[in-house]
Structure 1
Amino acid sequence: MARAYSIYDVFTGTKLAGNPLAVVFDGDGLSDETMQAIAAELKLSETVFVIPADNPAHTARIRIFTPGRELPFAGHPTVGTAIALAERSYGGEGASLDIVSVIEEKIGPVRCAVRLREDEAAFAEFDLPKVPVRLDHPLDRQGVADALSLKSTDIGFENHVPSIWTAGVPFAVIPVHNLQAVESLDFDAELWQQVAPFAEGGLVSAYVYCRGGVNHTARFHARMFAAGMGISEDPATGSAVAALAGAIHHFDAMPDGHHPVLVEQGVEMGRPSYIHLHMDIKDGSISRARIGGQAVRIATGTLEI
């Protein structure tokens, strides 16, 4: 059976940058094993399979697979799929409109807003389906430093220390001293497996961050390593930024109000990505958070499966 698919570069408005995503538009009838095999074959960070929504008022239901396992939720697949479905339905030449859709993921329904504009890369943002929470798993500072091939003094800045947060997918959120340390680190997957805990069904991935960025508008610069998902390094990770939101709010003691944060990732891979995080703080807690970014289509085709 021929199944249409497209590949999008996500969290970027420039082709061949950002994080590539495959969207298979007709995933109905494929077994879990076949979906996993297709994701492994394509070797992208994630492959999405679109199937009919359980609720007819929703746009679609999606399954998200890395080359190694299925995820209940992920950021760049949500942004990329929302844009892909909007362009497929409304994105004729000269289209300029705003669309609100609901995409069903394993974590639950995710509300998305898509902006289509003529001669401009599409933009989508979504409400976090789950507010980030901290998991009570200790991390050995020296062990983390060894896995990153850094000195222990490179780990942490100000009052930021390594911690584990989840907004659907757990990450070890690791602050490092400065941009030079992030750029120079050398991730050792074997050492990481010795120091990282298991949480929510898988090995916790490493999300390394510092203040500032190569782009002067970025508030934070980050890299993500996910050996447990079959990903050596990821150019952009929305679910990790969702987890990072918890750490930023906690360690920076953010006051009530609206806080926009731009996170850059993928620079060291030659695939710069820009992830927009918006947090609303009320009574000292995150009351709402959104993640967004651009995406551009770079390929279309069919799977003969």
Structure 2
Amino acid sequence: MNGSAAAVLVHACLRDGTGGSPTAVVLDDDRLSDEERRRIPVEHGTSHAVFLRPERETETAHGRPAFRIRFFTSGEELPACGHGTVAALALLANRAGEEGEYRALLRTSARTFEGLAVRKGAALVNAAFDPGPVDLRPASAEERSLVLSALGVAGADAGPDARVAGVGRERLLVPVRNRSVLAALDPNSGRLREVCDHLGFLGAYVYSPPSPTGELAARMFAPSIGVPEDIANANSTACLAAHLADRGINRIAVDMGDAVGSPATITASVHPEPTGPRVLVGGTATIGTSHTWVRG
């Protein structure tokens, strides 16, 4: 490697203080190449790596710090990563060491948005952010059929209201009959990648019916970006929250990660505003105690 950076392992979207999605968060000196950034998830055994570069404080009344944020898997750079954003905010709040609410502006190539985090004692941080407007449309018959076939979901086990949803890249939201159907899924990963590449989808987010209080389970399959199954997918959960809000469900808590041995929970809420519904999505994270240095 030609660059150097400090990487911190953050477990994002914990369930009851354990599990979560391990994410490498790198305080980036901007000397790593993109090829080097793609290696970091592999070296650290994570699905994603997040890269933060400090920028000047913004000219706001509160002087919130601003950071350029980028997301990588082993295969490519992503325009967004929800659990990666939770991990980044948790690390920033922990480093700031402030009591109360920590707020920062995060900049991607496409947008600038605010994230917030609150420390919970010495070990845990609650973090949340607005992923931006969610685009929703009904899935076509071809989209639904191709994805269900690759997932191995029988027609009787799938709900009729599959939706194509996007915050950045599109993905298919696939309802199934119950948690047992969800747990038994064993997709053909190669076929699902071909289908998602053909349709231009990030992947398929499969979910069980929500309880009256908004609890449900989900699994996210994204082989097109090198992630056969994601432990925690916050942006897809935000998409689902926007979809379920039309049915009067404004808060959800989604269990993920059980099938890959790392239980995670993501929360999302929908808030009406004059410009349209605003989604907040997030979770609880814990910061690794050891730092790993990536040297050139």
Bin of the TM-score, shorter chain as denominator length: 0.7 to 0.9
Report what 1:276 is aligned to.
267
| Structure 2 counterpart of 1:296, from 279, 282, 286 | 286
Q: Quick check: 1:228 aligned with 2:224?
A: yes
1:273 aligned partner, one-letter code: A
Counterpart Cα distance in 1 of 2:82 and 2:67: 16
Indicate if the aligned counterparts of 1:11 and 1:18 stay in contact, CA closer than 8 A: yes
Relative to structure 1, the CA distance from residue 134 to residue 13 in structure 2 (aligned partners, 3 Å threshold; closer, same or farther) is closer
CA distance change for structure 1 residues 195 and 228 in 2, over 3 Å: closer, same or farther?
closer
Matched, 1:25 2:27: yes
Partner of 1:241: 237
Decide whether the 8 Å contact of 2:123 with 2:286 is kept in 1: no
The answer as to whether partners of 1:13 and 1:296 remain within 8 angstroms in 2 is no
8 Å Cα contact 2:251/2:269 also seen in 1: yes
Confirm whether residue 125 of structure 1 aligns to residue 128 of structure 2.
yes
When normalised by structure 1's length, the TM-score is 0.84
1:260 is matched with which residue? 251
| CA shift in 2, pair 1:150/1:117, >3 Å | closer
Query: Following the alignment from structure 1 to structure 2, what is the Cα–Cα distance between the partners of residues 231 and 246?
Result: 24
Cα distance in 2 for partners of 1:26, 1:64 equals 12
Q: Structure 1 86/291 Cα, relative in aligned 2: closer, same or farther at 3 Å? A: same
Matches for 1:167-186 after TM superposition, within 5 Å: 167-186=167-186
Deviation at 1:33, TM superposition (A): 2.4
Give the deviation of 1:217 after TM superposition. Answer: 6.7
Paired with 1:33 and 1:51, the residues of 2 have a C-alpha distance of: 17
The residue type paired with residue 66 of structure 1 is T
Once the two structures are TM-superposed, the CA of residue 118 in structure 1 deviates from its matched residue by 2.0
State the one-letter code of the partner of 2:223: A
Number of the residue aligned with 2:62: none
Contact 1:166–1:242, Cα closer than 8 Å, also in 2: no
Deviation at 1:40, TM superposition (A): 4.0
Render the CA deviation track for 1:63-104: whole Å, top value 9, x for unaligned: 1101211111111111110110121222xxxx6322111111
**Could you tell me which residue of structure 2 aligns to residue 206 of structure 1?**
204
1:99 equivalenced with 2:89 (yes/no): no
- Deviation of 1:18 after TM superposition, in Å, equals 0.8
Q: 2:74 aligns with which of 55, 61, 67?
A: 67
- For the residue of structure 2 that corresponds to 1:79, the secondary structure is helix
Unmatched tracts of structure 1, length 5 or more? none
Gapped regions of structure 2 (runs ≥ 5): 60-64
Runs of 4+, deviation exceeding 6 Å: none
Residue 150 of structure 1: aligned partner: 153
Equivalents in 1 of 2:277, 2:214: separation in Å?
23
Q: Give per-residue Cα distances to partners, 1:182-202, cap 9 Å, x unaligned.
A: 000111123224443656xx5
Partner of 2:161: 161
Which of 175-184 and 189-198 deviates more?
Answer: 189-198
Distance apart, 1:232 and its partner CA: 1.0
Q: Structure 2 vs 1, CA of residues 119 and 54 (structure 1 numbering), >3 Å: closer, same or farther? A: closer
Q: TM-score, normalised by structure 2?
A: 0.87
- How many residue pairs match? The answer is 287
Residues 81-100 of structure 1 mapped to structure 2, 5 A cutoff: 81-90=88-97, 96-100=99-103
Q: Is the 8 A contact 1:11 1:293 kept in 2?
A: yes
1:54 is displaced (CA, Å) by 6.5
Q: CA deviation at 1:36?
A: 2.1
Percent identical among aligned pairs is 27
Give the 3 Å change call, closer, same or farther, for CA 13–222 of structure 1 in structure 2. Answer: closer
Q: How far, CA to CA, are the matches of 1:19 and 1:139 in structure 2?
A: 33
Contact 2:172 2:201 survives alignment (8 Å): no
Is the contact between residue 90 and residue 287 of structure 2 (CA under 8 Å) also seen in structure 1?
A: no
Asked whether the 8 Å contact 2:255–2:265 carries over to 1, the reply is yes
Q: Tell me by how many angstroms 1:120 deviates.
A: 5.3
- Measure, in 2, the Cα distance between the counterparts of 1:38 and 1:116: 27
Q: Which residue of 2 aligns with 1:76?
A: 83
From 101, 113, 116, the equivalent of 1:113 is: 116
Which SS does the other structure have where 1:241 is aligned?
A: helix
- Residues 138 and 196 (structure 1), Cα distance of their counterparts in 2 relative to 1, 3 Å cut: farther
Aligned equivalents of 1:212, 1:137: Cα separation in 2: 20
Measured after TM superposition, the shift of residue 106 of structure 1 is 2.6
What's the RMSD between the two structures over aligned residues? 2.6
Deviation of residue 282 (structure 1)?
Answer: 5.7
Contact between 2:172 and 2:203, CA under 8 Å: does it hold in 1? Answer: yes
Secondary structure (helix, strand or coil) at the match of 1:24 reads strand
CA distance in 1, matches of 2:4, 2:15: 29
Structure 1 residues 18 and 44, CA gap change in structure 2 (3 angstroms): same
